[in-house]
Structure 1
């Protein structure tokens, strides 16, 4: 684990969804502030930050985001329709917002601290029943949604992948993102899957 605190400045994109590290998030951009942001990120090969909206909406006045989000890096784009930019992003490090600013074009920017992940550890034996379900989902969805590498031996990666696909309220997804304990995240997910009788496979 990296013990050095990393503080960086990022443009923010508050959304009605949660991005997890290594997750794939396609976006359709049409507001000038976000078109400009994406163009700048692609030109300079720099990321932006995605945070779940706590108050407000995706369009119009700047929304109030949750403090914990994830870095988003643009890995693909298409502008086949005038005025619309379709981008594909890949989740990077989690971060916590320290300061947030609203620019004249209503784009938000923030100074954030990047959050360390725990050392790689395997899925605990008591929670191994989650793996067949995730493996089946990954195989069915394909690499467009779950690009390589697939780290089924990493409790953090497994927890993030399950957290992003569970049919749960977005605020619950946000709480799973905020957890620093990978095993605790998996235990919560395991309890949900067990309660809804999903551990034997997809219904």
Structure 2
């Protein structure tokens, strides 16, 4: 399928919301196209170039398709939109004959795995994510954390855990590109153990405001 592409300095995972402030004319045009045609667009991490004003930006090949759930037009023409990640995709080819990038993309499903060991890997990560968020509640003011928001289903858990983790964009991109969910879960399990140990060293109320939404 062919969709508009929006290169950004961020990595989005399926199921995760992302608010966007749209002000460049080319992306205002892109959002108009998507809303009028009920089309998704794709968010990709920038490999080379700048998010603003760079026509020849080079994105990574794997990104997240998003749908627009809310739009608000400001008086000066800018748009505030809320998007939600839907599924991973891989770019097969790019077109640059419009003000914004357009890509021929294919869905990128994970390789199939046996249910029992996959759920076992998720069961190892799940309490670590809860522990991590609990640690943050002792460090941050006005935290919003509901344990029921942390899923137990392996794919959804891996996406949430990857979104919350404070690691480099390149590391997040590698997680987005994982061929198997178990690969992401195992990496995240090790990383969360390290993060929890680090958080224990912070004095209370040093983190400021935090929310998992």
Determine if the TM-score, normalized by the shorter chain, exceeds 0.5.
Answer: yes
1:161: Cα distance to partner?
A: 0.6
5 Å matches for 1:153-192?
153-192=152-191
Look at both structures and tell me which one has the larger radius of gyration over its CA atoms. 2
1:106-132 CA distance string (max 9 Å, x none): x11010110113477535344343242
Structure 2 unaligned spans of 5+ = 137-142, 203-213
- Which protein has the bigger helix share? 2
Match of 2:54 among 48, 51, 61: 61
1:198/1:39 CA distance change after superposition, 3 Å:
farther
Say yes or no: does 1:28 pair with 2:21: yes
Which residue of structure 1 aligns with residue 12 of structure 2? 19
1:123/1:81 CA distance change after superposition, 3 Å:
farther
Within 2, Cα distance between the matches of 1:184 and 1:91? 21
Which residue of structure 2 aligns with residue 95 of structure 1? 89
Q: How many residues align?
A: 189
Structure 1 unaligned spans of 5+ = 1-7, 144-148
> Cα RMSD over matched residues?
2.7
TM-score (ref. length: structure 1): 0.82
Which residue of structure 1 aligns with residue 119 of structure 2? 122
1:133: Cα distance to partner?
A: 3.4
Contact 1:123–1:153 under 8 Å retained in 2: no
Say yes or no: does 1:39 pair with 2:35: no
- Equivalent position SS for 1:160: helix
1:21-54 CA distance string (max 9 Å, x none): 0111111011111101101111121100110000
Within 1, Cα distance between the matches of 2:166 and 2:75? 32
TM-score (ref. length: structure 2): 0.78
